[in-house]
Chain A
Amino acid sequence: MKDTLLRTPLYGAAIALNARMVGFSGWEMPVHFAGIGQEHHAVRNDAGMFDISHMGKFSLQGKDVLTQIQQLVPSDLSRLQPGQAQYTVLLNPQGGIVDDLIFYYQGLDGSDQQRWVVIVNAATTQKDKTWMLENLDTSDLTFYDHSLEKALIALQGRKAKEHLQAITSDDLSLLKPFEHLEGTVLGHPAFIARTGYTGEDGFEIMVDPAVGVELWRSLLSTGVVPCGLGARDTLRLEAAMALYGQDINDSISPLEAGLGWLVHLDSKGDFIGRSALERQKQEGVKRRLVGLQMQGRNIARHGYPVLFEGKEVGIVTSGTLAPTVGSAIALAYLPVELAQPGQQVEVSIRGKLYPAIVVKRPFYRAKK
């Protein structure tokens, strides 16, 4: 089994730190180093780093990439200036989410070609590539897949900026959230984006594999805590960020998933799934993703039923014991009439019912 799993350039670095490794989306990845709780708090209070080299990394280049990718997403990407990025979703014709991803616009190259970077989930890299190649006119643009050629490190935390600033000559104070630049770290070329998946300030840094190893070691030496997928999950869940395949999928629309803010029906033209979203908006959605706070320590996990007045009304999509929030939290789909903060429901956990209350998302918001 193990020999069929892919390894990132930072596999050796994780093993050297005695990381507990697990199979994840075809990759052998660290689930934790010192422990999920410690890693989680390190990101909230100082800084942690995650190997996310398993994520899919594409670039698109062509005279008019924008017109084509506008067809794939409900967000208006024409708003992006060079150096800006948009978190969005690929949609199928039914308005279901093919994947969630980030489009980074890098501007024009010397021959007036638009340059875009796209970073997608590891589990859906192949699916997205196929989807994009089917729905883009490749006679008009070039599609590169760098997924196996680059290392990607997420440096996240309240003090992430100070740690990174020490090893780059680029002025990070000029980089706002969701902005990115092509600069250097440790003197090597690097794609640096102020993005992340923790609800905390931070950066995602894409470099050549050998530089990735050097960067990891350098950050480790300045006290950045190595973190695994376990803490990545508790952090993103406190920030109520969706996990593809768990909270969102091909049969859930962004309007149901609380992602209505990235649907720009008024400012853009046609895109795949547009008519389905228009219809949903007109008729109103029937279910909505909500935050649940459990009353006890029991974790409501993916797939557990949610009940109201003894009747099954919804389903949990993610849950954990949230280290910063200090209680068990979950994301769940509920009928719109129950999807209001303060609503009391119950979650069936291995045959027993436990009380839960609908709360506002996110569960945690970083202090400015």
Chain B
Amino acid sequence: MAFDYPDHLKYTDTHEYTQLEGDVAIVGITAFAIDQLGDIVFLEVPDVGTEVTKGESFGTIESVKAVEDLKSPVTGTVVEANTEMADAPENLANDPYSAGWLIKVKISDPSEIENSLSAEQYRGLVEGS
């Protein structure tokens, strides 16, 4: 099944995406990841002010099938968390790239996302598998 992977986003091989706006990174998970999980029942996002580290867990997403860690693609401080989505995680699948953002992180090192995957590279990764 083919999904949408917007070109203006950066991607990780653990299925998170990042959108950079100045020194704030908007982080979410891809349509592919959401489809893999199936019916999502629980989403836990960190409080504002939490320090997150690139490659480490910043929250949890749970479907009927499985529980997965959410891995941060960046290091920094959470300045906003999508608590509205955490209250109704079943809506995540409807709009993963805009209403479905998870956290906004004030980043300390923009070069961290230089090695992220482009939309085309990410598509190759998940559709090639």
Question: Which residues of A come within 8 Å of B, CB atoms?
Answer: 18, 20, 31-32, 35-37, 230, 234, 297-299, 301, 320-321, 328, 350
Contacts and interface: CB of A to CB of B under 8 A. Distances in A.
A301 B38 contact: no
A234 B64 contact: yes
A127 to B, nearest CB: 26
B51 interface: no
Main secondary structure of the interface of A (DSSP, over half): mixed
Contact of A36 (B39, B42, B62, B67): B39
Interface residues of B, number: 10
Interface in B40-60: 41-42, 60
Contacts of B39: 35-37, 321
Given A31-B38, A321-B39, 20 more contacts: A20-B38, A31-B65, A32-B38, A35-B38, A35-B39, A36-B38, A36-B39, A36-B64, A36-B65, A37-B64, A230-B64, A230-B65, A297-B41, A298-B42, A299-B41, A299-B62, A299-B64, A299-B67, A321-B41, A321-B42
Contact of B42 (A35, A37, A230, A299): A299
Interface string B25-41: 00000000000001101
A31 to B, nearest CB: 7
A36 B41 CA distance: 12
A200 B67 CA distance: 28
Interface in B58-84: 60, 62, 64-65, 67
Nearest to A35: B39
Nearest to A37: B39
A317 B42 CA distance: 20
Interface of B: 1, 38-39, 41-42, 60, 62, 64-65, 67
A301 B67 CA distance: 10
B10 to A, nearest CB: 27
Nearest to A234: B64
A20 B67 CA distance: 18
A20 B38 CA distance: 10
Contacts of A299: 41-42, 62, 64, 67
B88 to A, nearest CB: 10
Nearest to A38: B39
A350 B38 contact: no
30 contacts: A18-B1, A31-B38, A31-B65, A32-B38, A35-B38, A35-B39, A36-B38, A36-B39, A36-B64, A36-B65, A37-B39, A37-B64, A230-B64, A230-B65, A234-B64, A297-B41, A297-B42, A298-B42, A298-B62, A299-B41, A299-B42, A299-B62, A299-B67, A301-B67, A320-B64, A321-B42, A321-B64, A328-B41, A350-B60, A350-B67
Contacts of A18: 1
A234 to B, nearest CB: 6
Give the 4 A-B CB pairs with smallest separation, nearest first: A321-B41, A37-B39, A36-B64, A36-B39
A327 to B, nearest CB: 11
Chain A CB count within 10 A is highest, among B42, B64, B67, for B64
A356 B62 CA distance: 18
Nearest to B89: A297
A320 B65 CA distance: 8
Contacts of A31: 38, 65
A20 B1 CA distance: 10
